[in-house]
Amino acid sequence: MQRQFVSRQVFTIFWARIVWLTSTLLFHTNYVRADNFTIDTIPLPPLRIDGQAAKAHTQGLEVAGASYYVTARREDVRPKRALLLRSSKSATHWDVWDITPHDSGGAALALDHPGGMQSDGRSLWIPTSASKPKSRSVIRAFPLTSMIAGQRLKPEFEFPVNDHIGAIAVSTNHNLVLGANWDTESVYIWDLQGNLKRTLTGSELGLRGLGAVAGADTRSGIAVQDWKIIGDRLFASGLAREAGAAANAPKSRFVAFTNFLESDFQRSVVTLPLYQGTELAREAIAISDGDVLFLPEDLGVSNRIFQLALTNLFKLSHP
């Protein structure tokens, strides 16, 4: 019997209000309620590595051609490993590459946390970090054409970063790479050669509603889990950390920016509901053919992507 790969469930949400943004953000932000939208579920194959069932903690998602690419940290081995995975709607298995960085002597480095990623059309740009804040990372570009099942991957370009980079977005229009660190306390902007051009911190991120900072300089905001630049728009998802928020309130946010790096940026945000108890923006997203794809759950025996139409999330006016 042929397996049906897409099942549709209509999930109707009624929200009385969205109150988490401060008055400082009112000038820059368009509020959108998440009412009456449809969530499609796309099943993915079970994760098996070397013929054995495996478990991996999802980090990033990208769509290239007919394939889904996923970065994940393998959880059922010691030491943990950084993985790049590939599958598709019609596939019954995953192609698996171990992308844990190695030193010049061939020994694996303690960088087991691959993050949110994006394709520039030729390569996948992937950050791989130590699994703790304020650590270190290497950002690498892997050519899509060299991704052959069973063969070791070799980056065409890489550069080190003295911080934990959890998500990468790539702008081919402006030749820039954006990196969000742990909890998005900082956002780094490099050119495509790895030269640091700018760093956003503090009030600059606060105005954009990003970053969750504890301690004396406490700041509420969205901790970006994955983000993508499409044309001149930046789409991001993550979990909001807000002082005084109810413990059972949904934390997932999906955000669209225009002119993200400019003072006249515009921002639209939607609060995503819990779906069958799952925070949709907990981990990976991708943007494909007018849809946003969420992969919030770890990979194992049963796997799925949640798919929503962007037009059902946002009603954005274009300048």
As a whole number of angstroms, the longest Cα–Cα distance in the chain is 60
Structure letter (DSSP) for residue 21 = S
Instruction: Flag whether pLDDT at 31 surpasses 60.
Output: no
Query: Model-level pTM?
Result: 0.87
Q: 161-174: string of b/e by CB count within 10 Å (b at 16+)?
A: bebbbbbbbbbeee
Instruction: Flag whether pLDDT at 165 surpasses 60.
Output: yes
Name the 3-class secondary structure at 279.
strand
Average pLDDT over residues 185-202: 97
Average pLDDT over residues 90-97: 95
At 36, the pLDDT band (50, 70, 90 cuts) reads: low
Give 265: exposed, middle or buried? Use CB within 10 Å, 0-12, 13-18, 19+: middle
Size of the chain in residues: 319
Amino acid type, 103: D
At 275, the pLDDT band (50, 70, 90 cuts) reads: confident
Q: Please, which residues bridge with residue 237 across strands? A: 226, 254
| Lookup: tokens for 311 | 């037009």
Return the pLDDT at 9. Answer: 44
Return the pLDDT at 215. Answer: 62
HSE of 214 in the Cβ direction (CA atoms, 13 Å)?
5
Q: In whole angstroms, give the CA distance from residue 275 to residue 156.
A: 39
For the ranges 149-158, 209-218, 250-259, the lowest mean pLDDT is seen at: 209-218
Average pLDDT over residues 306-317: 74
Return the pLDDT at 217. Answer: 64
Task: Judge whether 34 and 314 are in contact, CB under 8 Å.
Answer: no
| Lookup: tokens for 202 | 């503090």
User: What are the tens digits of pLDDT across the range 224-235?
Assistant: 999 999 999 999
Cβ neighbours for 97, distance < 8 A, ≥ 6 positions apart: 83, 84, 85, 147, 152, 153
DSSP annotation string for 87-141: E-TT-SS-EEEE---B-TTSPBPS--EE-B-EE-SSEEEEEEE-SSTT--EEEEE
Instruction: Flag whether pLDDT at 20 surpasses 50.
Output: no
Q: In whole angstroms, give the CA distance from residue 151 to residue 209.
A: 42
At 214, the pLDDT band (50, 70, 90 cuts) reads: low
At 27, the pLDDT band (50, 70, 90 cuts) reads: very low
Name the range with the highest mean pLDDT among 16-25, 50-59, 241-250: 50-59
The pLDDT mean for the chain works out to 86
For the ranges 12-21, 152-161, 209-218, 299-308, the lowest mean pLDDT is seen at: 12-21
Q: 270-291: string of b/e by CB count within 10 Å (b at 16+)?
A: bbbbebeebbbbbbbbbbbeeb
CATH class of 7-313: mainly beta
User: What are the tens digits of pLDDT across the range 95-127?
Assistant: 999 999 998 888 888 999 999 999 999 999 999
Instruction: Flag whether pLDDT at 13 surpasses 70.
Output: no
CB atoms within 10 A of CB 123: 22
Phi and psi of 111, rounded to 5°?
-120, 85
User: What are the tens digits of pLDDT across the range 168-185?
Assistant: 999 999 999 999 999 999
User: What are the tens digits of pLDDT across the range 245-265?
Assistant: 777 888 999 999 999 999 999
Cβ neighbours for 256, distance < 8 A, ≥ 6 positions apart: 233, 234, 235, 267, 268, 269, 314, 316
At 194, the pLDDT band (50, 70, 90 cuts) reads: very high
Return the pLDDT at 28. Answer: 46
